[in-house]
Amino acid sequence: MSAKPTIHRIMWAVLCLLFICLIVVAQDAAEPGETPVINFRYESWRLSRPGDTVVYHLYGAPGAPDRLERKLLKSILDRYTYQIRTYLGERLVEEKTATISLRDMSRKVYPSELRKTHIEMSTSREIFKGSVYNCQRLKKGDGSVEILSQKIPLGGLMKRLDAAGRTTEEVIEVRQDGVSGPSVSQIKKEVIKSPEAGRSAFSVSELLRKSRAEKKGIPATRKGKTAIVIGNIGEKPVETHKAQSFIQEVKMAGGKPSELFSSKSALLLAGFNHLHAVATYRVSESLKPENKGTPTLPRKITITYLRYIRPIDEKRHAGLLFSLASEDGITTREIPLQPKPYHDMEAFELPPEAVTIMPGTFNCFHIRLVLPTPLRSTTDKGDNRIVTQTDKKIDYWITNIKGREVVAKKIETVKKRVTETAIDNPAMVISTEESTRSTKCTLVDFNPEGYKK
């Protein structure tokens, strides 16, 4: 008899035995009928790309590092090499590199198997910078908790809590592919062709090349290049001037409720949010009617992001320190990193636009903040009652330059209506006066690298 069939039978028996062992192991790992779930930590690493960066705030003892930054340097097959930096204020405390392999993790996990290692898995929804993230909450045997989202790169960690429920580590910034926040390139462009077909706005990269060339004295204009508006061009304009309030006006204009940028204190209050960056704005003011006061003269203000201020305790938010230089001198301003700087206003997103300012033309997000209802105050003067109604809106046009978010243009408008009536006869209107004050800030120059210590 040939030995070949015998060898085949032995190999088949071994394979069958191995298959039975795998079934037994799988049955031991999971409860009957249990469905495995996606491991968010695994998915986060799998979806990470070189250049992705995550910044965490560390809540530790006084004098200990208060910020941690992880940046993915390279990924080869299933191995990821990343950089870890810890800071105290703006001082670099430690820098090192580490590697991780997907082979050391499971893409799918069984909650029952995690329980055997004293880890309870549950799901939760967390809000980060105005967006809601589906998360996995891992509670360990010692009472500490990790909250993970597959949308946060480099491991998915959003927040870490100790056994007492105090936050010890929390994500404060995510930069994917080296870009912080939404990129101008992500705007869905719905351009209506006009007789000037072939013309479009300068992209950020084209504008930067143009600026560098002009500084060297080289003409860098591109034929047919001009500013256009992105959005509902060609549609009949809505008569928003008939609106009774700014919130009614923005709804008539098709504004959609949005939390985009609404949690970025520095961006909304200072105009940008990158450390050491410097921006110069031209500020002007207008009044309607003109006899209601004297508008301030146009002036330039140069703003510099000086440093990050760590919180003293849990009651005080972290802050950012800016300097403001104008012809009146230099002052400093601290901006708290609170969840929503304009908590009394509602945010709406209008169609993106191509905005032309002194440096050039930029594609921008258009965000408008409005009061949900106008403010109302009443004072009595003799036999008459004076009712003052104040309405407010703030328009932002936000773009990216070298991957850094910056406000290209901002217009703040305050409208007042003062009505005087008789106290004993409110229906009898003695007088009504309306006035509007608008403050416009336009970007003149922006250097993302700017000031260095």
pLDDT digits (tens, 9 = 90+) for 143-161: 999 999 988 999 999 999 9
Q: In the numeric block, which tokens belong to residue 187?
A: 């705007």
Cis omega (within 30 of 0) for bond into 426: no
Among 176, 196, 215, the domain-final residue is 176
Q: In the numeric block, which tokens belong to residue 392?
A: 């407010």
Domain shared by 255 and 129, yes or no: no
Measured CA to CA, the distance from residue 445 to residue 282 in angstroms comes to 10
Q: In the numeric block, which tokens belong to residue 118?
A: 């004293």
Furthest C-alpha separation in the chain: 124
- Indicate whether 196 belongs to any domain: no
Measured CA to CA, the distance from residue 36 to residue 136 in angstroms comes to 13
Helix (H, G, I), strand (E, B) or coil at 206: helix
Measured CA to CA, the distance from residue 145 to residue 167 in angstroms comes to 9
Counted domains in the chain: 2
Among 176, 197, 226, the domain-final residue is 176
In 206-359, the DSSP E strands lie at 256-257, 278-288, 299-309, 319-326, 329-336, 346-357
- Tell me which residue has tokens 């002007």: 284
Query: Which domain, by its residues, includes 262?
Result: 237-447
pLDDT at 177: 55
Task: Classify residue 377 by burial, with Cβ atoms within 10 Å: 0-12, 13-18, 19+.
Answer: exposed
pLDDT at 299: 86
pLDDT at 258: 84
| Residue 353, number of CB atoms within 10 A of its CB | 22
- Indicate whether 119 belongs to any domain: yes
- Tell me which residue has tokens 């204020």: 89
Q: Which residues of the chain have pLDDT under 70?
A: 1-31, 129-131, 177-241, 291-295, 313-316, 359, 451-453
Measured CA to CA, the distance from residue 86 to residue 97 in angstroms comes to 12
| 383 contacts 353 by C-beta, under 8 angstroms | no
Measured CA to CA, the distance from residue 187 to residue 397 in angstroms comes to 13
Domain shared by 148 and 275, yes or no: no
| Residue 39, number of CB atoms within 10 A of its CB | 21
Domain shared by 131 and 259, yes or no: no
pLDDT at 191: 32
- Indicate whether 191 belongs to any domain: no
Domain shared by 347 and 441, yes or no: yes
**Where on the phi/psi map is residue 46: left (φ > 0), alpha (ψ -120 to 50), or beta?**
alpha
pLDDT at 92: 87
Cis omega (within 30 of 0) for bond into 311: no
Backbone angles phi, psi at 26, to 5 degrees: -65, -40
